[in-house]
Amino acid sequence: MLFLGEAEGFSGKIRLFFAVDRDNRARTAMETSNTLQKLRKFLEGRVGKAIFDYNMIEDGDTILVCVSGGKDSYTLLNILMALQQRAPVKFRLIAMNLDQKQPGFPEHILPDYFKSLGVEYRIVEADTYSIVKEKIPEGKTTCSLCSRLRRGIIYRTAKELGANKIALGHHRDDMVHTLFLNMLFGGKLKAMPPKLVTDDRAHVVIRPLAYCSEKDIARFARGMGFPIIPCNLCGSQENLQRQKIREMMEDWDRRYPGRTEAVFTAMQNIVPSHLADNAAFDFRGLTLDTPVDEGDIAFDTPELPISGTIPLSVETA
């Protein structure tokens, strides 16, 4: 098991000033870089904690790190490489990019970037763009077929390269959005887990950014000046339902800061006996002797240990 350490919560912000003279500019650059270092330390701590909590990385692992050219995957690779330097276990990282042949894809950016980092890498070329365009009628969302094709190629590449793990750049917001997407549109209480086996049972998928917020990642990516490749080259719009969920969460977070974090914490504290799934909890076989986390207190006013501006008193009859 690997423990990479924890960092204190990040409370700073990358400060941007409009410098009016050279002294100010020098001071600003220094402050920005100090803040960036703090943010890096914070993100490394978050990733280290997620790796530890879910035992994501073990000695001898070969990890295929999927890099799309977006802010999340650049951050993932960067932080994993930093942690690799001081990890008490040895693991190998291979960065991978899938060139899906979207028109205008700048194919030199990622190989150049990987070379500059000195990381082992593999670029896989596969024209999934044409397949998707051919199979999906104009105006329909192409993402589900595209992701399925991409998944198959990633698994195949992991096998070819002898990678036992696949690291993806999904973060806490992605995981919470998926939970709501499945709940509101799919009728399932299911999100995106920090760690799972692939559907062909050949690899373990890990999401080391599980404890990182999208905001911090975006700030880090801006500060690091990653060569971002736009994600709309295929011309597809973001899935409408996912877009709605994103807007809903952003609105909640604006009005009641910390809600996304609270939902994520809830995902780590599920109480099957207080839901309604017969497969997760044997309600039919329930007797007075069945052990439960807590008994039924439905007649009490719930104590909600949530800080923030949400009204805390919940009236019950």
Positions touching ligand SF4 (CB under 6 A) are 132, 142-143, 146-147, 231, 234, 236
d(CA 128, CA 205): 22
Our CB check for ligand SF4 shows the closer of 198 and 239 to be 239
Residue 219: which H helix or E strand, with range? Answer: helix 214-224
Give the integer Cα–Cα distance in Å for 128 and 172.
28
Helix axes 259-267, 240-255, angle to 10 degrees: 110
Name which of 136 and 189 has its Cβ closer to ligand SF4.
136
Q: How far is CA 54 from the centre of its chain?
A: 14
| Neighbouring-strand partners of residue 204 | 165, 197
Give the long-range contacts of residues 244-252, CB within 8 A, separation 24 or more.
245/177, 245/180, 245/181, 245/184, 246/177, 248/180, 249/173, 249/176, 249/177, 249/180
Q: Smallest distance from the beta carbon of 100 to ligand SF4, in angstroms?
A: 6
Between 146 and 209, CB nearer to ligand SF4: 146
**How far is it between the farthest Cα atoms of the chain?**
76
d(CA 258, CA 308) in angstroms, rounded, equals 7
Residue 69: CB minimum distance to ligand SF4, A: 11
Q: Which is nearer to ligand SF4, 4 or 181 (CB)?
A: 181
Question: By C-beta, is 117 or 231 nearer to ligand SF4?
Answer: 231
Residue number with CB closer to ligand SF4 (238 or 282): 238
Find the shortest distance in angstroms from Cβ 58 to ligand SF4: 30
Q: Minimum distance between the CB of residue 135 and ligand SF4, rounded to whole angstroms?
A: 11
